[in-house]
Structure 1
Amino acid sequence: MTTPPAKRSVLRNPAFLRLWLATTASSVATWALPFILGLAVLERTLTASALGIVLAARMAGFLVAVPVGGVLADRYSRRGIVFWSGVLSIVSTPLIAYGGLPLMACAAVVLGAGQGACRPAFQALTADVVDASQRQQANAAMTFAVRVSTLIAPGVTALLASVVTTSGLLLGTCVLWLIVALCPPRGARHVGRERDKLHREFLDGLREARRHPWFLAGLAALTMTAALGQSSIAIALPLVSRDRYGTEAVLAAGMTAYSIGALLGALVVARWRPRNQGWVALAGLSLFGFAPLSMLFPVHPAVIVAAFVAVGIGIELFNVPWFTATQREVAPGKLARVSSLDFLVSYGLAPVGLAAIAPSIDAFGLTAVLVVCAAMCFLAPAAAALVPSSRHLSVTTPRSA
């Protein structure tokens, strides 16, 4: 009996490598804006209130552009959508770097639109250029690159800030957006359908999403986790680090541990194909509950660090199979719109959690809020797992990813 040939690594696919480079550049550039503007606040060249206005304006542009970008990416060339998203970001970034506050806010809306419009197009392009058997490895490679970049980027950026102004650093992100605009490969053209008004085409994507109960259940669990779990980290961890341990080191260690855990999770899920992949993914998502749980009691800081490593592993055990299943199960001509629904809901409700956590802590106390956040992070994925199709992230018989 002859031995079957080994599968070719997705990293030897030139089209994927171009997409991988563009996706990584987009993620790093998106991360860079709040960090660099935060440095400007530290240098007192930007006020904290101005920072809040600019970031809120960017989020508004992002949320408006995500569904529009999803429709356009299913209607036109997906590479073209990414190109114009990169152009919008390149044009708007200098205005944020050197404009007054009103101009900065307007430019931030445009920048957010560029960042949002390319997200669903990237998801659809992955399905276009990568064979189905290699998509989980491809998605893991993308998230691994992003996690490595965001792990080392703060230190590199802070070092550069000693010799370059924050405005210069912002202009430097234009290079990343140039990569986004020029690098993506040509995807498949999905033609043969009549074009309709934008909102009707988006609703058509929503109807496609409703055909996949596992998608709606998983999206609800992800949204709850993002709104409460991530918000508890953003608000409660700095408070716990300052008030309980009297040092910022716990905050830094916790966030670093989260990134390291995500790297480990990406490495594991690149190769691991559990039989009940959906249940494993939702179990990974539920690990987010250990973040608020670890902050409930006066434990040794190592316990918090270990909990955040587990959270990082868990989020990638969910993310990579989730993206892979969406690319596999959703009709190709509607994939960008369904992906845009994912980003719109999970990203859109996250600020609601951030806005609610701080006043809730003032009203009910840190302990009560952490208990609720931990409970919901455990219960939401468990509830999603009760949907029959969630077991394999498929409404049909299990298929290899």
Structure 2
Amino acid sequence: MTSSASRRRPEWAGRNYSLLTSAAFITNLGSQGALIAAAFAVLENGGDGGDVGLVAAARTLPLVVFLLIGGAVADRLPRHRVMVAANTLNCVSQGLFAVLVLTGEPRLWQMMLLTALGGTGQAFFSPAAEGMLLSTVSGEQAGRAFAVFRMAMQGAALGGAALGGAMVATVGPGWVLAADAVAFAVAGSLRSFLDVSHIPVRGAGGGLLADLREGWQEVSGRPWLWGIVVQFSIANAVVAAADAVYGPLVARDHLGGAGPWGLALGFFGAGTVGGALLMTRWKPRRLLLSGVLCVFPLALPSAALAIPTPVGVLCAVMFLTGVTLEVFGVSWMTALHQEIPEDKLSRVSAYDWFGSVAMVPLATALAGPAESAFGRSEALWGCSALVALVTAAVLLVPDVRNLRRVSKPVVRAAPAPAPASASADAERPVGGLG
């Protein structure tokens, strides 16, 4: 007998969708605070901007190394098992990081090692989670499903950033890291109950290299896809340097510490919630043109930090950026869902994520030396200019300007069969742009 809760849910919001949304909310709530906690753990133990950058780079480097392998694995193994294993690794690494911070004076190499383990887990989690979502949400309501999921996820970012900043200021970064470890444990437990029976079993292929080659052919044959991946490989790198390295330093020197910086990140989270809410109603016909135009405001936070503006102005800028960036995020997911064959979704997602994070370790590691060579404000202005430049450049690609939303489901190569029930839903991983 159908429960009253099931009757109230829309068709695309079944059991899997509910589990995945709950798990993503929990992990994003913990992870947003942990990002702040990791930076201030370094600073409170005698580190400087260069050390913060090294720890941030240590997380991203294994993400770059293992992403493509993670995508190939996720297109072969049950995706929910890959996600649970990755959550377990994240839980263990964050738990050990918390113990080190709470019980003594962690050394830089220890913090780098543990954040590297977390990045390894994310490398396998992200392609599996994105492939699962894109393969199971179907029909004309796909864009709304993505928007609602992202609204819940970004709502957690709103609370997590503000709460994390406040907790770092009051109880210290160690307890925030411990809470993040618990969040990964709970989320992994929820994901273990996912049903993937609706996804066709893939036959034996030609091996890992052949899988990676097929994924690359899918990406390289679509100018809109690789063009935006290149755009975000640069934009994400400079934004990561600004947020992970310069942001905490500006907050410490001019804004009053972790609390105001957490508040600003919370306003960004509020903006993403607003943007996702907007996208539950708005269906832009030219998916990528609308989305890419909304990336230009991503240049504004770095400019605000370069001045630096008062906390109120910075919060307003972060809110606007969150709104517009979420318009891009939903449009991008809808385009991938519409255009990419189901059996290649995780591999294409892996190349997407690889491009998005490939230059982040270099950018974060060089953030400290760049500050020493040019000055912090000048480095931040450079970040802002690069974001605007690469966003303008990708608009020169005709497919970016012309790709249109289809009003009916697209018949794609190797399509997934229609799900037998409303339980065939999945999720978009936390973090990442483009």
Match of 1:341 in 2: 351
Are the aligned partners of 2:239 and 2:302 in contact in 1 as well (CA < 8 Å)? yes
Are the aligned partners of 2:95 and 2:178 in contact in 1 as well (CA < 8 Å)? no
SS where residue 218 of structure 1 aligns?
helix
Match of 2:136 in 1: 129
Match of 1:148 in 2: 155
Are the aligned partners of 2:161 and 2:265 in contact in 1 as well (CA < 8 Å)? no
Name the CA distance, whole Å, in 1 between partners of 2:335 and 2:236. 20
The one-letter code sitting in structure 1 at the alignment partner of 2:379 is: V
Aligned-residue offset at 1:336: 0.2
Name the CA distance, whole Å, in 1 between partners of 2:160 and 2:307. 32
Match of 2:327 in 1: 317
Name the CA distance, whole Å, in 1 between partners of 2:12 and 2:225. 28
SS where residue 133 of structure 1 aligns?
coil
Tell me the alpha carbon deviations over residues 167-218 of structure 1, each in whole angstroms, 9 at most, x when there is no partner: 7535523433433542433154344554223233112101111122111111
Aligned-residue offset at 1:67: 1.6
Name the CA distance, whole Å, in 2 between partners of 1:295 and 1:162. 26
* Greater relative contact order (Cα < 8 A, sep 6+): 2
The one-letter code sitting in structure 1 at the alignment partner of 2:275 is: G
SS where residue 234 of structure 2 aligns?
helix
Describe the shift of the 1:213–1:110 C-alpha distance in structure 2 as closer, same or farther (beyond 3 A).
Answer: same
The number of equivalent residue pairs is: 391
SS where residue 194 of structure 2 aligns?
coil
Are the aligned partners of 2:80 and 2:128 in contact in 1 as well (CA < 8 Å)? yes
Describe the shift of the 1:368–1:34 C-alpha distance in structure 2 as closer, same or farther (beyond 3 A).
Answer: closer
2:209 maps to 1:199: yes
Describe the shift of the 1:56–1:128 C-alpha distance in structure 2 as closer, same or farther (beyond 3 A).
Answer: same
The one-letter code sitting in structure 1 at the alignment partner of 2:291 is: A
Comparing 266-275 with 51-60, greater Cα deviation is found at 51-60
1:283 counterpart (288, 293, 302): 293
Tell me the alpha carbon deviations over residues 325-383 of structure 1, each in whole angstroms, 9 at most, x when there is no partner: 11221111111001011112212322322233332233233454344322222221222
Aligned-residue offset at 1:322: 0.7
Describe the shift of the 1:169–1:194 C-alpha distance in structure 2 as closer, same or farther (beyond 3 A).
Answer: closer
Match of 2:28 in 1: 27
SS where residue 358 of structure 2 aligns?
helix
Match of 2:429 in 1: none
Extract unaligned runs of 5+ from structure 1. 1-6
Aligned-residue offset at 1:226: 1.1
Comparing 253-262 with 29-38, greater Cα deviation is found at 29-38
Tell me the alpha carbon deviations over residues 122-169 of structure 1, each in whole angstroms, 9 at most, x when there is no partner: 111112322132222222222222222122235555559859973753
Tell me the alpha carbon deviations over residues 66-117 of structure 1, each in whole angstroms, 9 at most, x when there is no partner: 2222101112222222233234334555444447867776555444322221
Comparing 254-263 with 307-316, greater Cα deviation is found at 254-263
Are the aligned partners of 2:135 and 2:345 in contact in 1 as well (CA < 8 Å)? no
Indicate the structure with greater helix content.
Answer: 1
Aligned-residue offset at 1:232: 2.8
The TM-score with structure 2 as length reference comes to 0.76
SS where residue 285 of structure 2 aligns?
coil
The one-letter code sitting in structure 1 at the alignment partner of 2:357 is: Y
Identity of aligned residues (%): 24
Describe the shift of the 1:89–1:306 C-alpha distance in structure 2 as closer, same or farther (beyond 3 A).
Answer: closer
Map residues 2-401 of structure 1 onto 2, 5 A cutoff.
Answer: 9=10, 12-37=13-38, 56-98=57-99, 108-154=115-161, 156=163, 162=171, 166=175, 168-169=178-179, 171-179=181-189, 181-186=191-196, 188-191=198-201, 193-238=203-248, 240-241=250-251, 245=254, 247-248=256-257, 251-297=261-307, 302-393=312-403, 398-399=406-407
Name the CA distance, whole Å, in 2 between partners of 1:55 and 1:293. 21
Are the aligned partners of 2:255 and 2:311 in contact in 1 as well (CA < 8 Å)? no
Match of 1:3 in 2: none
Name the CA distance, whole Å, in 1 between partners of 2:40 and 2:372. 28
CA RMSD across the alignment: 3.6
Comparing 331-340 with 107-116, greater Cα deviation is found at 107-116
The TM-score with structure 1 as length reference comes to 0.82
Are the aligned partners of 1:61 and 1:108 in contact in 2 as well (CA < 8 Å)? no
Name the CA distance, whole Å, in 1 between partners of 2:354 and 2:219. 13
Extract unaligned runs of 5+ from structure 2. 1-7, 101-105, 410-434
Comparing 12-21 with 199-208, greater Cα deviation is found at 12-21
SS where residue 280 of structure 2 aligns?
helix
Describe the shift of the 1:338–1:183 C-alpha distance in structure 2 as closer, same or farther (beyond 3 A).
Answer: same
Describe the shift of the 1:368–1:87 C-alpha distance in structure 2 as closer, same or farther (beyond 3 A).
Answer: closer
Aligned-residue offset at 1:307: 2.2
Are the aligned partners of 2:268 and 2:322 in contact in 1 as well (CA < 8 Å)? yes
Name the CA distance, whole Å, in 2 between partners of 1:387 and 1:265. 25
